Chains A and B, each alone.
Chain A
Amino acid sequence: MPDEDRKRAAHRALVDRVLSGAGRASAEQRARAFSNEGLAPPLRGLVGKVATTPTQVTDADFAAAQASGCSEDELFELVICAAVGQSARLYDAGLAALAEATDSGADR
């Protein structure tokens, strides 16, 4: 499946970059934003909304995160990690259901 390999490879390149490449936020914070786990407030609130209820993000969520000491560049990265993380979980869940339905786990 060369075409699919290209899509998955392009997705993995994005995930690997935001998690493991150079950043202003620590790799540990980015991993927590990606998984939407283990962050302290107020970042927990902002990242949780990005992952699960993004239309409810407000200016106040960003203001609180900045007031707690996060720079704009760190927030840029952590919001992206949260969005990419939630999407990656959906992608994996869909592919897992497909693998189960076709009984061809090797495709993953």
Chain B
Amino acid sequence: MRLDILNRGYGPGATLLFALIRLFSGHPVPDAARLVFYRPDFYGTRAKAFTHEVMRGPSGWSAGDRELMAAYVSQVNESAFCIGAHSATARRAYQDGAKVQAVLADLESAPVEEPLRATLRMLGQLTAEGELSAADMRDVLSAGVSPQQVRDALAVCAAFNTTDRLADAFGFEVLTPEAFDAGAKYLLKRGYR
């Protein structure tokens, strides 16, 4: 990562944990995980709590849907690490790699339900343009998305617009497909806490 403190600034506890994770998983600790261990009182503790609530808390969207939203927002931001991590997690959650690939290739022709498509379109527009009109939002609601589902999706959008920026600013190392898949397994089993 671009700051030395994010590569070497960890205490003995975190350093030992990173070594154990590498030993047992066979993969390096992803930079996304390392970041939240650096001075966790400043960012990591609350970022993990927010992200876990958003991605695994009660919602009308499945964990797979929310992972797909994370991957889609990351694609709009062209954030390579987060596209890799969350497309892998969405693939594993859905047990359907073709669906995830289709959404990332062309949302409009992808085989997904209309409420999810309209929601992804809205999140992409908000992320790319920074604004939405009430008419844009009414399109989402008339596709059958409840106001609560919109709020849940906007929370996913907020979490991943943050993480995408940090991944690219700090320069998270892009992992191998195998390592992303190992991370996906962990995220589905344990979440973001």
Contact = CB atoms under 8 A, between A and B. Distances in A.
Given A10-B50, A97-B137, A101-B134, A57 B169 contact: yes
Query: Contact residue range for chain B?
Result: 35 or more
Interface stretch (B18-26, B101-109, B123-131): B123-131
Interface of B, helix, strand, loop or mixed by DSSP: helix
Given A50-B169, A57-B169, A88-B158, A7 B151 contact: yes
B15 interface: no
A42 B141 CA distance: 43
A2 to B, nearest CB: 9
Nearest to B46: A14
Interface residues of A, number: 49
Contacts of B42: 17-18, 21, 23, 76-77, 80
A87 B162 contact: yes
B158 A11 contact: yes
Given A3-B59, A83-B165, A98 B154 contact: yes
Interface in B34-49: 38-39, 41-43, 46-47, 49
Contact of A10 (B5, B46, B79, B167): B46
Contact of A76 (B5, B133, B167, B171): B5
Interface string B41-78: 11100110110011001110000000000000000011
B2 interface: yes
B155 A11 contact: yes
A79 B132 CA distance: 25
B147 interface: yes
Q: Which 4 A-B pairs have the closest CB atoms?
A: A83-B165, A100-B134, A101-B137, A91-B158
